[in-house]
Structures are given as C-alpha cells and as structure tokens.
Structure 1
Amino acid sequence: MEEATRSLLEVTEKPVFPPVYEGVRLPAGEDAFEAALAAARQGADPATLFWEDREERVELAIVLHPEQALAQALPILHVGMIGIGDALGAIVPPQVAVTFGWPDRIEVNGGLAGGFRLAAPEGCAADAVPDWLVLGLTILVKRELIGGEEPGMDPTRTALHEEGCGELTVPDILEAFSRHFLLWVNRFEEEGLRPIAAHWLERGSGYRESVALSHAGEQHAGTFIGLDEEGGMLLQTEAVQALPLSAVLAGPGWAL
C-alpha cells in the first residue's frame, strides 16, 4: 500500500517551471509532441511546454517561435541536448556519463536512453523564418515498467534507474531541463552557434574518432571532426563531408 501511494505521488507531483513557460499537463498516453504540434499550428504562444504525467519516462514538447531562418534555427536541437545534458549532470551521480549521439540521441553510460525530435511547418524553405518550431524530448526513466525484455539485457539501450539514478523522478528532470534549456536558449540568441557547438562537442560521442552512421537513408563513415555553421556533422574522409542537420525534420534517428 505504501509503495502504491508513493508511486502515485511521484506521478502526480506537479513540476515547477520558470515563469516564462506555460506548462500544459497531459495524461499518460496523450502524445506531448503531437499536442504541441497541433497547438503550434493554431498559434500557441512560444514557450508553451506540454508534458505527459507518467512515471516511467519523460515526454515533453515545447513550442518555439524562432527569429532566424530555418537553417540557422535548427541547432535549437543541440541547445536542447545541452540543456538535458547539463540538467542530468546536475542531478545524477557524478559517475554517470551523459553523452550525445549526433544528431538527436541522448546516451547514458553509452546506452541509448532517449532523444529529441524537431518539427517545422511543412514546406518551410531553409532561408525562410518559420512561424514555429516544436522541440520534443523523450528520456527513459524506468524501463522495467514498460514491459518486454529484462533491464540490462540490451547493452545498447538503458534507463536512468538502471544507471544508478534510482531516486530521480520525472518532475525532477522536467524542472531541471526547463531551467537549463532556458539558459542555453538565451546564450544561443545572444552569442550564436559557436558556444553551443563547443559545448555540444564536449559530450559528443565519437568526436575526433572514426564513426559510421546512417543518415537520411545513406551510410556514412569517416572521422567526426566537428559541426558546421548550421549544426551539421563534419566528416573527414578523402575530403570533408557535411551531413545536414535538416534531416531531423523527417523524423528521429533513434527508437526506444
């Protein structure tokens, strides 16, 4: 009985966001990303943050109103990744490593634990300012509550509670992310991509190493040498090849 009560309290605890956000709570199972998309298309205010009230995973999506052309606004994806990286870094044990898999994967101790999604108005040109963007985040907290294979059986996937973060709750993560994301959004707006790229690369998996990945339906291999001026991956092969970040608009490059 006590366990059930504690579990219920964890789910129903309401996170506290900075005042700039308008938080919208959704019941578990109602897709935060789709809700944010629908709201954005109907003219929702920027910083409207949709979150699902569930215990086993973070599901949130934020409506954004960029002031730059789409190509320059896409690195808001990297801003989000830095936000969750710093948020988790502040609340998980120090031995837990949070890293980024380009373009949109969040890794914990080397295993996939979640990722980001990004959407823009259909048909928006790269040099046009989009009316809105929607940035979505998924982080797996308790994999054993989802069903399927036992935790730890697949070393390529993980959840925070499997990595020594058993005290963390979804509201903890929502609150921490909302604060750190806001700080990095402000820096992105004031200083541009350079500090974002530098900070992202500090956690970038495979940076300055040989990597192989599938991108936009094609296989690529080379040395990951950095990010270009629009957040794309720079691969050194016989020449330098740039993989565009815009491919994330077609859908996430990860699945849990």
Structure 2
Amino acid sequence: MSEPQFPPLLTGLDAEGRDPFVLACEMAEAGCDAGTVVHSVQADRLRAAVIFAPEVPLAEAAAMLVVCGVGLQNALGALAPPEVAVHLQWDGRVRVNGGSCGALTLFANTLNPDEIPGWLVVGVDLALIRLVEAPGDTPDVTSLYDEGCAEIDPVGLLEAYARHMLVWLNRWSDEGNRPLHAEWSGLVWGVNEAAEVAGRAGTFMGTDERFGMLLRDGDTTHLVPLAALVEEGP
C-alpha cells in the first residue's frame, strides 16, 4: 500500500498499529505542530485524526467538526459512483445511502466553550467493508463496499479528504461560517425528525448560524451548541 501524499500545509504520520485518535491527542498534548494527520488504513476501516491549533474559543473552534465533515462528504462525492448519497448527522455520524457508515469525533484539551483550546483533534472513522455480520443483520449499518464503492482506493480517499478539508478550512478562515453553513445545511441528516442529544430530546428543526442544533420540545425550542459534542482528549 502506497504512502498517502498530503498538501504542503499538512503532514502525514502512519499510526503503525496504534489508535490514531489516541496518538494524535497525545502528540497534540506534547506540542506537536498543527496540520499533522495521523492515519491508519486497515482492510475494513479508514481512520484519520487531524490536529488543529485554534486561535478562537472552543464554541467557535468546534466548527472544525463541520469543516472535516464537509471535506469528507466532498471527497466521497467526488470518488463514489454518482448514485451514492452521503449525508452528515449533526452528532458527527456519516450516512451513506441512509446507512450509518462511520463517524467524526471532536477532541480537545478543554470542555469550556469560552476557553481557547490548547489543541483540538478531529477524528474520522469510516467503514470500508464489514468483515463479520451480513448486511441484513444490521440494516441501519453499512460500509462503502456494501454501497457500491468497492473501487475507491482508501489511500486515495484519505488524500482527497485532506485536500477538501483544507479547502473548507481556508474558506472558513477567510469568510467565516456563512459559506460553510450553506454547504453543510444541504448535507445534514434527520431534519424534522426525532432526535436526542446532550440530555435533550425533541424534533430536530435545523441549526443556528454557529451550527448549534435546534430541538423543539412542544412549544419550546432548545439550542444545543456544537461544542456539546466535544470530548476531552484521552
């Protein structure tokens, strides 16, 4: 398997059998440079963790989950057959033709939304093929292979993800949330459906301008900020 090639602002590092999310968080805590992509390509899954060094409070920096999600969707959209639909759940899960095919996870060294994180890591875990159960056993879970994407080279997908992510990172840095929100809003899964997140339940009505989830419970609409999805780094 060839080594992935990344754009000049990004540096790749093979996790070499370790969990790339844990390794990326450890490296970030030790002062590793932002732009490092720790990756692991296995027979059944593709995992990658990108290290960021935010200059804004966590409430704003949490947008990196959206930046990476849109980058991944754009990469899959470019490489997958045209009939394959890729959507993003608000909580980070990735839907391919309606089935759950992986997830993005956000880690930081603080959970305080008003604090500027010392580092932030976005992890991507994508199912390439299911090695055990048959598709009918778990109808809501799928893989790229099950959805007709067997021809996608996982290393090529990782490279495309990095390129598209970087494009959206630059747009977000230059133009703010508006263009990113416009792109993401057309990809969000489950609007007008029941949802439960961060201890609240209701009907998912969409998001505010900072990507916060709007949950309607009866006559009351609750806002769940995107930073509620942040996990403290291992």
Could you say which TM-score interval applies, normalised by the shorter chain? Answer: over 0.9
From 125, 142, 146, give the equivalent of 2:129: 142
Are the aligned partners of 2:24 and 2:38 in contact in 1 as well (CA < 8 Å)?
yes
Counterparts of 2:135 and 2:216, CA distance in 1: 37
* Residue 155 (1) aligns with residue 142 (2): no
* Residue 48 (1) aligns with residue 32 (2): no
Q: Name the structure 2 match of 1:177.
A: 161
Counterparts of 1:242 and 1:195, CA distance in 2: 21
Matching of residues 113-128 of structure 1 within 5 Å = 113-122=101-110, 125-128=112-115
Which stretches of structure 1, 4 residues or more, deviate above 2 A after TM superposition? Answer: none
SS in 2 for 1:23: strand
Change (3 A) 1:163 1:185: same
Counterparts of 1:133 and 1:125, CA distance in 2: 13
SS in 1 for 2:156: helix
Q: Name the structure 2 match of 1:244.
A: 225
Are the aligned partners of 2:127 and 2:143 in contact in 1 as well (CA < 8 Å)?
yes
Counterparts of 2:200 and 2:55, CA distance in 1: 33
Q: Name the structure 2 match of 1:106.
A: 94
Read off the aligned partner of 2:42 and give its amino acid letter.
Answer: R
User: Could you tell me the percent identity over the aligned residues?
Assistant: 37
* Residue 203 (1) aligns with residue 187 (2): yes
Instruction: Summarize deviations over 1:20-76 as a string: whole Å, max 9, x none.
Output: 111001224x10000000000000001011001422211110110111111111011
Are the aligned partners of 2:108 and 2:231 in contact in 1 as well (CA < 8 Å)?
no
Counterparts of 2:25 and 2:40, CA distance in 1: 15
Are the aligned partners of 2:45 and 2:125 in contact in 1 as well (CA < 8 Å)?
yes
Read off the aligned partner of 1:23 and give its amino acid letter.
Answer: G
How many residues are paired up? 231
Q: Name the structure 2 match of 1:194.
A: 178
* Residue 81 (1) aligns with residue 65 (2): no
SS in 2 for 1:142: coil
Counterparts of 1:75 and 1:15, CA distance in 2: 26
Structure exhibiting the larger radius of gyration computed from Cα positions: 1
Q: Name the structure 1 match of 2:13.
A: 24
- Say what the alpha-carbon RMSD is for the aligned residues: 1.5
The Cα shift of 1:219 comes to 4.6
Q: Which segments of 5 or more consecutive residues in structure 1 lack a partner in the other structure?
A: 1-11, 252-256
